[in-house]
C-alpha cells in the first residue's frame, strides 16, 4: 500500500518503534507520511516513539523530525538522537526536548534492544548491570533528558541473588516501522542493499507478539518464490504492510554504495588515508595500543581513523573491527557513512552485537571523550550549552560496561592551536577550555566501576598519554617538545599524577613518515 494508507492504521496513543541508525535503514518515507497525516488530521496524537539508535540526520533524512510535533509526540525513548554542527539550527526533536514539550529518555542502545526482546517474549523486563554509576543509574539521572521525563521513572534498582541490578520494564510496541531492500508479495524481507539489519527482527517480534502491526518500507517488490530463503532476515509472517520507496537512501547522504552492503570488495588503495595533522598523531598513538588478532570495537571521533592508519602501515587485517550497527571486519567508514563498513566479513543483528559488547567478549574498544573527570569518569553524551552537538550515549554505555581494555582519545583541551614540527609538538596558542576536570557534566563511563572491575583504561591526547592507575589519572608519556608542568599539568582543571617511569612519546608520531608499525601478538 502507499505510505499514506499504511500510517492510517496508527492510532492515537500508540507506541511506535522505529528501526534506524541516522540514515542507515531509516524508513523515512513512512515517517514523512505519518507527520503529514498529523498536519492534515491532527491525528494520531500522544505517540510514544522508540529508537534504539537515532532515526534521521542533518543531511537529507529527517527521520524522527517528521513526527517531532507538539501534540503528536508525547514520549520518546532513544538510544541516540540526530546530532550536528554547533551553529546549525537544532533538529525539531531537540527543540522539543529542551523545551520540555516531550518526555525524553536516553537509554543505552543495547538496553533498548533488550527491552524490546523481553517484550517480544512476554517477560517482565531487563535486569542488567550496564549503566550502574552512570547517568543511566536512577541514583544519578535515571536516563531522563529533561524535567518532563524526571516525573516518570524508566529504570530502578532491584536486588537479585544478593546483587544490585538496574531494572528496565519491557517495551511492547503497537507498531514497528522497519526498512529492508526487497519484499516479496508475501512480505518476506531481504536486506541485500543495506549496510546493516539493526534490530528489524526484534522489533517485528515485539510488535507481532503484543498484538501490534508491522510496516516495512522497501526499495522494490519481488514475486513470490524469487527470494533466496537464506537471505530472508524477517519472514512475511511478521509483516502486515509493505510500502515501496524506490528513492530511499542507503545511508546518510548516500544513494547507494555496493561496498557498504558487501556486494563489492573495494581495493585497499581506494581508501583515503587521513592527512597528517594533530588528530592523526593521536590516532597513530592509539594504534600502538593494539595487538595482533584482537577483536576491536571502534567509535566515532579521532579513533575512527585508526583503521586507515593500519591500512597505511600495511597492517590491515591485523585486528578485526566491529561496530554497533552490526558490521564485523572490513574498514569502518567515516563522516556521513559512519556506522557502516566497507568490505565487511559479516553482518550480524545489532542486538547480537550488543550482547557481545555488554558481556565484554571482545578485546578492546577505541572511543572518544568530551570530558574526563578526576576519578577517570568520561562524558561523551552531553554538552549542556549545545545539546544537539552530541547524539547522546548510543552504544557507548553498553560497550564500556565490561570492556577489558578501553582507549579514549581526544584533544587535551579545547581551542588550542598547535602543529607537529621536527618530531615535536609546538603549541602556538593555548586552549581556554579544560577537558580534564574534577567532575564531568554527565557520567557516560564510570571511573569507579572501572576500578571495581579492574578495567584497563587509557586516555590518549596529543600532549600526553594518561592511564587510570588505582583510580587516579596518571601521566605516563609526554609529547616531545613540551614542558610537563606548563603544558600538561597546569592546563588540566584537576590533579594529574605523574608516573615514576614517565616516558617521552615516540617522536616518529609527530613526523608524517610511516611508523613501521608492527602489532605484537
Q: Which residues are designated catalytic?
A: 324
Secondary structure letter of residue 486 according to DSSP: I
Quick one: cell of 88? 546549525
Q: How many CB atoms lie within 10 A of CB 275?
A: 8
Upstream peptide bond of 208 is cis (omega within 30 degrees of 0) = no
CA distance 283 to 237: 47
233 vs 327: CA distance, rounded Å: 15
The total of other beta-carbon atoms located within 10 Å of residue 445's CB is 30
Buried-exposed string 237-253: b where 16+ CB fall within 10 A, e elsewhere = ebbbbbbebeebbbbbb
Work out the burial of residue 210: count CB atoms within 10 Å of its CB; fewer than 13 is exposed, 13-18 middle, 19 or more buried: middle
**3 state SS of 312:** helix
Q: Is the distance from CB of 356 to CB of 320 less than 8 angstroms?
A: no
Cβ-based burial of 485 (10 A; exposed 0-12, middle 13-18, buried ≥19)? exposed
Selection from 300, 270, 303 nearest residue 284 by Cα:
303
Query: For the packed helices 109-120 and 350-358, what is the interaxial angle rounded to 10 degrees?
Result: 120
Among candidates 215, 211, 210, 181, which has minimal Cα distance to 37? 215
- Residues shown for the chain: 521
In three-state secondary structure terms, 453 is: helix
Q: How far is CA 517 from CA 17, 282, 286, 314, in A?
A: 45, 14, 12, 8
Tell me the three cell numbers of residue 383: 554538552
SS3 state of residue 2: coil
Q: How many CB atoms lie within 10 A of CB 67?
A: 25
- Sheet strands (E) in 247-372: 295-298, 320-322, 327-328, 331-332, 341-342, 346-347, 364-368, 371-372
At CA 422, angle to CA 273 and CA 420, rounded to 5? 50
CA distance 390 to 367: 14
Cell numbers given for 299: 567509535
Grid cell in block for residue 285? 598513538
Amino acid at each position: 500500500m502507499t505510505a499514506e494508507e499504511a500510517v492510517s492504521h496508527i492510532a492515537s496513543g500508540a507506541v511506535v518503534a522505529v528501526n534506524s541508525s541516522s540514515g542507515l535503514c531509516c524508513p523515512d518515507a513512512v515517517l514523512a507520511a505519518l507527520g503529514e497525516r498529523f498536519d492534515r488530521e491532527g491525528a494520531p496524537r500522544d505517540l510514544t516513539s522508540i529508537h534504539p539508535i537515532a532515526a534521521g540526520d542533518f543531511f537529507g533524512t529527517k527521520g524522527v523530525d517528521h513526527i517531532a510535533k507538539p501534540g503528536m509526540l508525547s514520549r520518546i525513548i532513544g538510544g541516540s538522537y540526530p546530532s550536528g554542527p554547533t551553529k546549525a539550527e537544532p533538529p525539531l526533536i531537540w527543540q522539543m526536548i529542551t523545551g520540555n514539550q516531550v518526555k525524553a529518555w536516553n537509554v543505552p542502545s543495547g538496553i533498548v534492544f533488550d527491552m524490546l526482546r523481553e517484550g517480544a517474549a512476554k517477560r517482565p523486563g531487563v535486569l542488567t548491570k550496564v549503566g550502574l554509576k552512570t547517568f543511566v543509574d536512577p541514583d544519578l539521572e535515571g536516563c531522563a533528558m529533561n524535567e518532563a521525563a524526571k516525573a516518570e521513572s524508566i529504570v530502578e534498582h532491584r536486588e537479585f541473588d544478593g546483587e544490585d541490578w538496574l531494572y528496565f520494564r519491557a517495551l511492547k510496541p503497537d507498531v514497528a516501522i522497519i526498512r529492508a531492500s526487497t519484499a516479496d508479495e508475501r512480505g518476506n524481507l531481504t536486506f541485500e542493499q543495506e549496510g546493516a539489519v539493526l534490530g528489524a527482527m526484534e522489533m517485528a517480534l515485539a510488535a507481532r507478539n503484543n498484538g501490534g502491526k508491522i510496516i516495512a518500507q522497501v526499495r522494490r517488490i519481488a514475486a513470490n518464490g524469487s527470494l533466496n530463503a537464506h537471505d530472508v532476515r524477517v519472514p512475511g509472517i511478521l509483516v502486515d504492510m509493505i510500502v515501496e520507496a524506490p528513492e530511499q537512501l542507503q545511508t546518510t547522504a548516500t544513494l547507494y554504495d555496493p561496498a557498504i552492503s558487501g556486494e563489492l570488495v573495494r581495493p585497499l588503495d581506494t581508501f583515503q588515508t587521513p592527512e597528517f595533522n594533530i588528530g592523526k598523531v593521536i590516532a597513530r598513538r592509539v594504534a600502538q595500543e593494539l595487538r595482533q588478532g584482537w577483536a576491536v570495537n571502534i567509535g566515532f571521533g579521532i579513533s575512527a581513523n585508526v583503521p586507515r592508519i593500519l591500512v597505511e602501515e600495511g597492517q590491515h587485517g591485523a585486528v578485526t573491527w566491529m561496530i554497533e550497527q552490526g558490521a564485523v571486519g572490513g574498514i569502518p567508514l567515516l563522516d556521513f557513512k559512519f556506522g557502516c563498513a566497507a568490505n565487511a566479513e559479516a553482518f550480524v543483528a545489532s542486538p547480537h552485537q550488543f550482547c557481545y559488547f555488554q558481556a565484554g567478549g571482545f578485546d578492546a574498544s577505541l572511543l572518544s571523550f568530551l570530558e574526563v573527570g578526576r576519578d577517570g569518569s568520561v562524558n561523551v553524551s552531553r554538552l549542556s550549552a549545545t545539546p544537539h552537538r552530541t547524539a547522546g550515549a548510543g552504544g557507548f554505555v553498553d560497550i564500556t560496561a565490561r570492556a577489558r581494555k578501553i582507549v579514549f582519545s581526544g584533544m587535551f583541551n579545547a581551542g588550542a592551536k598547535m602543529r607537529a614540527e621536527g618530531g615535536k609538538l609546538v603549541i602556538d596558542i593555548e586552549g581556554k577550555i579544560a577537558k580534564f576536570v574534577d567532575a564531568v557534566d554527565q557520567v557516560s563511563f564510570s571511573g569507579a566501576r572501572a576500578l571495581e572491575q579492574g578495567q584497563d583504561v587509557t586516555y590518549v591526547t596529543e600532549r600526553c598519554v594518561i592511564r587510570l592507575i588505582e583510580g587516579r589519572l596518571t601521566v605516563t608519556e609526554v609529547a616531545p617538545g613540551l614542558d610537563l608542568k606548563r603544558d600538561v599539568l597546569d592546563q588540566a582543571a584537576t590533579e594529574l599524577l605523574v608516573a615514576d617511569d614517565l616516558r617521552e612519546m615516540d617522536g616518529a608520531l609527530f613526523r608524517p613518515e610511516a611508523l613501521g608499525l608492527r602489532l605484537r601478538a
